[in-house]
């Protein structure tokens, strides 16, 4: 039996947009499902990507530092997380300045190392969040991860 509080939480999560869901999961998911938290909120590392791709990711996330040096602050908004990238499509990246097929393939290969992929549906992430928060009772096999496990 689901309580009224659980029903309200389910309804809130289902109606959240991308940004509100990101903030909610960032602050609430680590203690209940560290594996899913790590999949979504591991920061993308500069050393693993070309300068062109790194600058595109910074441009996408609105960071002004354009990939050079370290972020000025170590807060929620100064990092680029997997969450930010997996929700985007190939077309999104190809429409960015100085990004072509080779750069998009680099992003896809980087994500594949972790079992992730571009064009992940926000509904899949919401579904996994509900499972992790024990608001729906199903086994943990993340829909948006191609192969189970966080390999790096």
- Looking at per-residue pLDDT, the higher value among 73 and 44 belongs to 44
Summarised one tens digit per residue, pLDDT across range 12-64 is 888 999 999 999 999 989 988 899 999 999 988 888 889 889 888 887 876 65
CA distance 84 to 77: 11
Q: Global pTM?
A: 0.76
């Amino acid at each position: 039996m689901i309580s009224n509080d659980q029903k309200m939480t389910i309804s809130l999560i289902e109606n959240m947009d991308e940004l509100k869901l990101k903030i909610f999961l960032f602050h609430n998911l680590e203690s209940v499902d560290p594996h899913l938290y790590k999949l979504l909120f591991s920061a993308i590392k500069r050393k693993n990507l070309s300068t062109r791709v790194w600058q595109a990711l910074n441009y996408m996330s609105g960071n002004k530092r354009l990939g050079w040096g370290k972020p000025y602050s170590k807060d929620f908004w100064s990092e680029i997380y997997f969450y930010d990238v997996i929700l985007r499509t190939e077309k999104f990246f190809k429409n960015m300045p100085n990004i072509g097929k080779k750069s998009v393939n680099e992003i896809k290969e980087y994500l594949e190392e972790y079992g992730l992929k571009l064009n992940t549906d926000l509904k899949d992430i919401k579904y996994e969040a509900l499972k992790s928060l024990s608001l729906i009772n199903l086994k943990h096999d993340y829909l948006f991860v191609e192969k189970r496990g966080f390999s790096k």
